[in-house]
Amino acid sequence: MFCAGNMSSQHIMDLMLKLKKYQVNFKIAPPDSQFIIGSKSIDTFSDLFTININGINKPSNKRNKRLFDLLIAGLLLVLSPVTIFFVKNKWGFIKNIFAVAFNRKTWVGYHPGHADILPKLKKPVLFTSDIFADKNLNGETCANLDTLYARDYKIENDLSIVGKGFKSLGR
């Protein structure tokens, strides 16, 4: 692994050319970045590594996420006589409000199947991909979205996902 903060780009490339005959994989850590760059193929993101900078498993982020869940559940409960007309599954919407309020669910979380390698979250009402209009994302894209969400958690992301996926809050 090379660190671009300690070596020039030219020096890294020279060393990579000299080591090429040993068939090794190279990783480069750019200065002031949250990523380590490297891949076995230029066509995939399979070896893109991230460093846990503002991870969802930090105690402060766990608190913030739970506070967000409670505030949104309370707000939706108070506004439910109006907001219920904007969701697809009305009974599911009411059930989800109480499930989130009683800490059995969270408003935003990972896609099924990807959660086992990421920090644990409650079962979600919405997924990270609900921020996009295109709901037909492939599994690799969904896994990448989940990883980015867990690595750099922000309440603003939860708020955006809840806003974009509002119709699906009864899921």
Q: pLDDT tens digits, residue range 63-82?
A: 999 999 999 999 999 999 99
pLDDT at res. 41: 46
Give the whole-angstrom CA distance, residue 136 versus residue 144: 14
pTM above 0.75, yes or no: no
pLDDT at 43: 46
Q: Are 141 and 111 in contact (CB under 8 A)?
A: no
Q: 12 near 30, Cβ under 8 Å?
A: no
Instruction: Compute the distance between CA of residue 75 and CA of residue 72 in angstroms, rounded to an integer.
Output: 5
Backbone φ, ψ for residue 127 (5° rounding): -105, 165
Ranges of residues in the chain with a pLDDT under 70 are 1-6, 9, 20, 23, 25-53, 114-115, 134
Q: Which of 110, 114, 153, 154 is nearest to 129 (CA)?
A: 110
